[in-house]
Amino acid sequence: MKKLCSIALLLAAHCAHAEWTMLGEQNGAAFYMDLQSATGAPDARQVWEMLNMSERDAEGVHSVRFQMEYDCTGKRSRGLEMLAYAEPMSTGKQIASLGADPEGWEDIEAGTIYDQRMRAACGK
């Protein structure tokens, strides 16, 4: 139980001290990235990101915080973890918690918001 509480406190501390950089907007939602959370080798980066919607969706989700992994040389990405929240900027009640995206790696098309996110994570 102590280990579980420690993990929860570390995750909460990360949320409180994350430095979110806005990367762009698409379809009424803003994409943010915590560049200081980026880890991994230069060609394979993991980073925490956030999607902040202008209003709640049908399930009551207002924002989503997720960890992505980028293959910087192969120009593809995959989701590692996702946490959905009822309030803006990953605050309020946590509505859902999901593990890795079952679809796995997805190619990134040049000139899209996804390309912009990959470039930020990979430092390009």
Decide if 9 is inside a domain. Answer: no
Q: 3-state SS string over the chain? A: CHHHHHHHHHHHHHHHHCCEEEEEEECCEEEEEEEEEEEEECCEEEEEEEEEECCCCCCCCCEEEEEEEEECCCCEEEEEEEEEEEEHHHEEEEEEEECCCCCCCEECCCCCHHHHHHHHHHCC
Give the global pTM. 0.83
Q: What is the CATH number of the domain that holds 94?
A: 2.40.128.710
Cβ atoms 84, 61 nearer than 8 A:
yes
Per-residue pLDDT of the chain (124 residues; tens, 9 = 90+): 444 333 333 444 444 568 999 999 999 999 999 999 999 999 999 999 999 999 999 999 999 999 999 999 999 999 999 999 999 999 999 999 999 999 999 999 999 999 999 999 999 8
Are the CB atoms for 19 and 33 separated by under 8 Å?
no
Q: Evaluate whether residue 99 is within a structural domain.
A: yes
- 41 part of a folded domain: yes
| pLDDT value for 62 | 98
Q: How many domains does the chain have?
A: 1
Residue 72 lies in a domain: yes
Does residue 8 lie in a domain region? Answer: no
Is 115 a member of any domain?
A: yes
Distance CA 57, CA 54 (A): 9
In a domain, 27, yes or no: yes
Give the range of the structural domain holding residue 36, as residue numbers without chain letter: 19-122
User: Is 10 within a domain?
Assistant: no
pLDDT at 16: 52
